[in-house]
Each structure stands twice: as structure tokens, then as C-alpha cells.
């Protein structure tokens, strides 16, 4: 047992240190149907796998969505692709005489994609097959 303790300490010292991932916050707007909607994208990126996880908040409506995807380096820019899901949004359960629907989300899923160059994200938000241009600026 005494021999294993120094070996365990040596192996622990060689393990890579877990570095906190910086939180990035981006804000901007998109014209969805006939109105301009304000958005805030907050996320972290794993530096090894380039996996992105965070939230997309619609500041105009107060809705909040989960975002997961990738942020891949591409020269002087980075390509962001994320699936946006309603997460724990309310779901519809209804039925009449044994027929009905169960677990239908009242909020639609979306796909967020675009390119980050410096402090600017230029891309689009695709909801129900319709693509809306989205521009965000880094605030943190």
C-alpha cells in the first residue's frame, strides 16, 4: 500500500490540469417574420473537442433555448454550428375519446450556423425550414 501512494501521487501530478472554460456572450438581432427579435447567445467551448454548449435567449419574448454543437477554427475565423432545442419548455398533452397527442413541444427546434470573425457573428437561424439572418456582437 505504501508503494502505491507515491505512484498515485506521481500519476496525479502528470495529469493535465482542468482549465475553466471561458464563457462567451454574444448579443444581436434577427428579423423573424415581420418583427425584429433580440437574441443573446451564451456558451462555452471545449478547447480539445471544439464542442459548444450553452443557451440562446430570445430577449424579446423571454424564451430560452439550449444550444449544443461545435465551434471549429477556420483560418482567421471560426465556424459555429449548433442545434437549438426548447429543453424543458412546456409540452402539449391532449386527447379526445382516446385519440390525441402527447409530449408535443410548444416551441420549435432550430439550427444556428454562421461564421465568427473577430467580435462579429454573421449567420442564420433556421426555424421550421425558414432561414432568418442573424447578426451578433461579442459583449463578453
pLDDT digit string, tens, across residues 105-118: 446 788 999 999 99
- pLDDT at position 23 over 60: yes
Q: What is the pLDDT of residue 33?
A: 80
Residue 37: count of CB within 10 angstroms of its CB: 18
Q: What is the mean pLDDT of the chain?
A: 82
Q: CATH number for the domain including 133?
A: 2.40.128.120
What range does the domain containing 45 cover?
Answer: 21-89+104-138
pLDDT of 92 reads: 45
**In which residue are the cell numbers 415581420 written?**
34
Which residues have a Cβ under 8 Å from the Cβ of 131 and sit 6 or more positions away? 124, 125
Residue 104: pLDDT band with limits 50, 70, 90: very low
pLDDT (mean) for 117-130: 94
Give the predicted TM-score (pTM) of the model: 0.74
Instruction: Summarize the confidence of residues 44-61 as an average pLDDT.
Output: 94
* Greater pLDDT, 5 or 73: 73
Residue that wins the pLDDT comparison between 16 and 136: 136
Q: Considering only residues 6 and 73, tell me which one the structure prediction assigns the higher pLDDT.
A: 73
Strand-pairing partners, residue 40, are 27, 57
How many domains does the chain divide into? 1
| Residue 15 counted as domain residue | no
Q: Is residue 134 part of a domain?
A: yes
Is there a domain that residue 40 lies in?
yes
Q: Is residue 109 part of a domain?
A: yes
Check whether 1 has a pLDDT greater than 60.
no
Amino acid at each position: 500500500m505504501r508503494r502505491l501512494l507515491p505512484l498515485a501521487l506521481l500519476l496525479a501530478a502528470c495529469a493535465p490540469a482542468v482549465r475553466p472554460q471561458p464563457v462567451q456572450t454574444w448579443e444581436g438581432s434577427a428579423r423573424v417574420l415581420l418583427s425584429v427579435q433580440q437574441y443573446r447567445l451564451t456558451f462555452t467551448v471545449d478547447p480539445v473537442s471544439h464542442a459548444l454548449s450553452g443557451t440562446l435567449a430570445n430577449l424579446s419574448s423571454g424564451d430560452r433555448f439550449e444550444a449544443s454543437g461545435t465551434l471549429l477554427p477556420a483560418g482567421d475565423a471560426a465556424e459555429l454550428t449548433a442545434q437549438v432545442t426548447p429543453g424543458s419548455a412546456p409540452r402539449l398533452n391532449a386527447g379526445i375519446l382516446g385519440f390525441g397527442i402527447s409530449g408535443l413541444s410548444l416551441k420549435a427546434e432550430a439550427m444556428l450556423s454562421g461564421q465568427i470573425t473577430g467580435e462579429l457573428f454573421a449567420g442564420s437561424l433556421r426555424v421550421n425550414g425558414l432561414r432568418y439572418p442573424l447578426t451578433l456582437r461579442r459583449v463578453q
